[in-house]
Amino acid sequence: MASTHNNFDFFAASEKAIGDTELRRKLANASGHHLDAAARTRAEFPRYDEEREAARRIKAEAIGRLDELLLQLKQRLETNGCQVFFAADAAAARNYIVGIAKRNGLKRAVKGKSMTTEEIELNPALERAGVEVFETDLGEYIVQLRHERPSHILTPAIHLSKEDVGTLFHERFGMTYTNEPERLTAVARDNLRSIFMTADLGITGVNFAIAETGTLVLVENEGNGRFSSTLPDTFIAVMGIEKVIPRLADLSHFLEILARAGTGQKITTYTNFITCPRGHSELDGPREIHVVILDNGRSAMLADPVMREALYCLRCGACLNACPVYRRIGGHAYGYPYQGPIGSILSPNLFGSGAGFLPFASTLCGACREICPVKIDIPKMLLHMRAKENRNHLKWPRGASRARRAVARFARLAKRPRTVRTLSRIAAWMIRPVVRDGYVRWMPPPFSAWTRTRDFPAPKSAPRRKPKSGGV
Amino acid sequence: MGAFVRVLASVKTALEGGAHREPNAHPGARVMPSAPVVAPAANRAALVSSFARELEAVGGHFTGSATPEGLSAQIIEISDRVGALTVAIGGDGSFDSEPVAGALEQSGRDVIRCGVTADEAARRALIERIARADLAIVEAQCAIASTGTLVVTATPARPSALTLIPQALLAIVRADRIRADAAEAIVALGAETIANHRVAFITGPSRTADIEKLIVVGVHGPKQLHALVLWPADD
């Protein structure tokens, strides 16, 4: 898979991000906000765990019957008047979509937030074909204006402060600087209104595709997804093969948990059901609907019994908010459109071995598994992928092999308690001049690598290695 | 066609090579039961009050209830409050929208009626006119009490644009069509309706929290959402 995502230096990017205290403040603020709101909404909803179980059961069924459900979905969509295209990889999906734009002579595309279109790198392909592409989700609009990528699957501009957005709008639109979200949002609304009214192509993702009725379900808060799927004459929905659910009656279980897990709302502002193109006597709705159903590595995940469960993911974003690693390094450090714990699983599978380091970007604390509305066992998969990566072609970063040798040497030393005790005593005595309030604040190189960013607790006294008599 | 066969073949191979195949119908599988559209009368007051509370909680305005006779007067009052000079009104509901449209015109307002357009130019022109409306009025198919959600289906006389483009939206819902939760609303709506119409669940005014998690209302869709409950004559 030729992709600009590859050859990304996760270690350099995460190290840089950790040093950015302002970024950490913004991430802690935003993800904390989501987590608190989500915990409150869930506490008020006694049926939450029941709905979670039901949703998980339905996903297991859907993934287990994926072949028949995809066939049924295709047939129903076609009966409803939609055109269906199956894309084996990102390039096939891009080419198909660019082909529609060329054939229909389309010039202006409005997009709802869609990580799948980020995955296939659709925007640059459309732009090369002469189509203007406008991201219309406010967060996506902001990151597009900054020529950045989203840093969170749910809140793309989570890494920016209101001051950053104020400065951006001031520079790009010449408006008087303000950091008031209301005024900034009003400017975006006005700018995008005229674009919505003149766009000839709408593109969005899909949250659920109901096989039974051939219905695409799109959830959102702003209304930009509704605009994109209502006003332009041509509408293209892009979905992974895993988005299909069997029956209409299954949907409510997902609606009850999705927003509660992600943003802490009971339900999102809009849930859009899109089934058929505009009828003869109708005023609006697209004349043409294309549904692009993307494999791009997903069937390979399906073939691996451990990885299969990752296809249950609803993209709610909860595991990002809960992840101690994500909350410190932010989304950009991951280098791929899917970030955080679930991103560390999806990216290596969808983008290839360039992302092979990502499963190591986790403390395996299990917060992601706890919070996941469909209970995906993310830590188990991360371990599975680590093992696979180690067996295959893992290139450790510079210094890592030295660290491994050092650990091996320590292991040998630790088997000789008397030597350890003696060395500890010597170390404690040597350190004494630099101890302040129980902490070592400075050490000479190479130990300075630690004390530059953290204090080291000073040994209280000579460490004891032998248990006390009668002790445990 | 080639691509479809290829993708489906890889899915099939992946499933067959996998540890186990899920049974075709799991124990939780449900066939859509056909439920009556009308909610039992005993629950009605409780459902209306829950709907009102939840609607207000997401930034909507509950504007009380009306009888069929009092509907026009109440809609004019709401239009006054919103300061709406141009009102777009949708049809295809359970009540005749024409008397309401007439009353709005008599009150000195410009009224946009929705319906079939003659050609593409007229179609575009009507969308442009709706875009300039201060207020849109539609009847919701049903509502969800547990979340304060309005369920609106699109028809020729009730296009999607109505609930999306104007500055403010007033949705009218019959008291006997307020359902307890999303599952019940989907059953009440039925597969037939969903297969033939675009449907929107609308919960509060359009909103965003994309700038530092601060909630701003009215980013793309309506900035205000009002809901009025209509008590049918036989109640």
Give residue-wise pLDDT tens across range A305-355: 999 999 999 999 999 999 999 999 999 999 999 999 999 999 999 998 788
Classify residue A39: in a domain, yes or no: no
Q: Of the spans A204-213, A384-393, B6-15, which averages the highest pLDDT? A: A204-213
User: How many angstroms separate the CA of residue B132 from the nearest CA in chain A?
Assistant: 11
Indicate the DSSP class of residue B158: B
A280, A409: one domain: no
Q: Least CB-CB distance to B4: which of A66, A86, A250?
A: A86
Q: Which residues pair with A209 in a beta bridge?
A: A216, A244
CB-facing half-sphere around the CA of A418: CA atoms within 13 A: 0
**Domain edge (last residue) among A299, A321, A348:** A299
Q: How many domains does chain A have?
A: 2
User: How far is it, in rounded angstroms, from Cα B15 to Cα A468?
Assistant: 58
User: Which residue of B11, B164, B181 is in closest CB contact with A66?
Assistant: B11
Cα within 13 Å of Cα(B219), Cβ side? 29
> Does residue A66 sit at the B interface (CB-CB below 8 Å)?
yes
Q: Please, which residues bridge with residue B150 across strands?
A: B143, B202
Tell me whether residue A74 is in a domain. Answer: yes
Q: Report chain B residues whose CB lies below 8 A from the CB of A142.
A: 210-211
- Whether residues A285 and A415 share a domain: the answer is no
Interface of A with B in 98-137 (CB under 8 A): 136-137
**ipTM for the whole complex:** 0.92
B209 versus B86: which is more confidently predicted? B86
Taking the Cβ of residue A178 and every Cβ of chain B, the question of whether any pair is shorter than 8 Å is answered with no
- Asked, for residue A174, whether it belongs to a domain, the answer is yes
Distance from CA of A133 to the nearest CA of B (A): 18
Please judge whether A58 and B26 are an interchain contact, meaning their C-beta atoms are less than 8 angstroms apart.
yes
* pLDDT tens, residue by residue, B186-203: 999 999 999 889 999 999
Are residues A200 and A68 part of one domain?
yes
Using an 8 Å CB-CB cutoff, list chain B residues near A61.
22-23, 25-26, 29
Residues near A415 by Cβ (< 8 Å), separated by ≥ 6? none
For chain B, the residue count is 235
Would A189 be classed as within a structural domain? yes
DSSP letter string, A86-141: EESSHHHHHHHHHHHHHHTT--EEEE---HHHHHTTHHHHHHHTT-EEEE-SHHHH
Provide the residue type at A268 as one letter: T
Say yes or no: A294 and A413 in one domain: no
The model's confidence at residue A402, banded by pLDDT at 50, 70 and 90, is confident
Lay out the sheet containing A435-436: strands in order across: A435-436, A439-440, A456-457
In tens, the pLDDT along A13-32 reads: 888 888 888 888 888 888 88
Task: Say whether A87 and B221 touch across the interface (CB within 8 A).
Answer: no
Structure tokens, A403: 């660290």
Residue A362 lies in a domain: no
pLDDT at A453 over 80: no
Looking up tokens 């993702």, which residue turns up?
A205
Selected for mutation to probe chain A from B50, B220, B225 (highest A CB count within 10 Å) is B220
What is the C-alpha to C-alpha distance for residues A313 and A316, in angstroms, rounded to an integer? 8
What's the pLDDT at A465?
A: 53
- Considering only CA atoms, which of A138, A276, A133, A285 is closest in space to residue A199? A133
| A105 domain-assigned | yes
Nearest by CB to B156, which of A80, A86, A283? A283
Average confidence (pLDDT) over B212-219: 88
Write the pLDDT tens digit of every residue in B119-162: 999 999 999 999 999 999 999 999 999 999 999 999 999 999 99
**Is residue A204 in some structural domain?**
yes
Are the Cβ atoms of A34 and B213 closer than 8 angstroms?
yes
Give the structural domain span for A429: 400-457
Q: Please, are residues A196 and B182 in contact by the beta-carbon 8 Å criterion?
A: no
* Domain containing residue A144: CATH number: 3.40.50.10420
Give the per-residue pLDDT at A5: 54
What's the pLDDT at B21? Answer: 54
Per-residue pLDDT, A396: 62
Q: Which of A280, A299, A318 is the last residue of a domain?
A: A299
Q: Which two tokens stand for residue A89?
A: 């990889």
Interface test mutation site (partner B, options A141, A212, A283, A290, max chain B beta carbons within 10 A): A283
Closest CA to A326 of A337, A339, A345, A314: A339
Spacing of C-alpha A416 from chain mean position = 47
One domain for residues A121 and A232: yes
Summarised one tens digit per residue, pLDDT across range B53-71 is 999 999 999 999 999 999 9
With CA atoms as reference, report the closest residue to A231 among B152, B167, B220, B84.
B220
DSSP annotation of B39: P
DSSP 8-state class, residue A209: E
**Closest to B154 (Cβ–Cβ): which among A165, A212, A285?**
A285
Q: How close is the nearest chain A Cα to the Cα of B33, in Å? A: 9
- Residue B235 Cα, gap to closest chain A Cα (Å): 30
Contact A10, A333 (CB under 8 A): yes
B219 contacts on A by Cβ (under 8 Å) = 138, 185, 188-189, 222-224
CB spacing of A161 vs B205 below 8 angstroms: no
Q: Which of A78, A169, A269, A291 to mutate to test the interface with B (most CBs of B within 10 A)?
A: A269
The answer to whether the CB atoms of A249 and B201 lie below 8 A apart is no
The structural domains of chain B, ordered by start, are 42-230 (3.40.50.10420)
Q: How far is the alpha carbon of A433 from chain B, nearest alpha carbon, in Å?
A: 46
Cβ-Cβ contacts under 8 Å, A285 against chain B: 154, 159-160, 198
- Note whether B220 contacts A227, CB cutoff 8 Å: yes
- Picking from B26, B117, B160, the nearest residue to A230 by CB comes out as B160
Count the alpha carbons within 13 Å of A179 in the hemisphere toward its beta carbon.
Answer: 6
Question: What is the C-alpha R_g of chain A?
Answer: 26
Interchain CB distance below 8 Å, B22 and A267: no
Same domain? For A104 and A230 the reply is yes
Average pLDDT of span A39-44 = 90
Residue B27, pLDDT > 90, answer no
Of A299, A325, A358, the residue that ends a domain is: A299
Residues A379-397 pLDDT 10s: 999 999 999 888 776 566 6
Give the minimum alpha-carbon distance from B77 to chain A in angstroms, rounded to a whole number. 26
Chain A residues whose beta carbon lies within 8 Å of the beta carbon of residue B54: 266
DSSP string, B201-233: EE-SS-EE-TTTT--EE-SSS-SEEEEEEEPPT
Distance from CA of B56 to the nearest CA of A (A): 13
Does A250 fall in a domain? yes
Which residues of chain B are within 8 Å of residue A29 when distances are taken between CB atoms? 212-213
Mean pLDDT of A178-184: 94
Q: Which residue is listed with tokens 């299990």?
A: A366
Cis peptide before A446 (omega within 30 of 0): yes
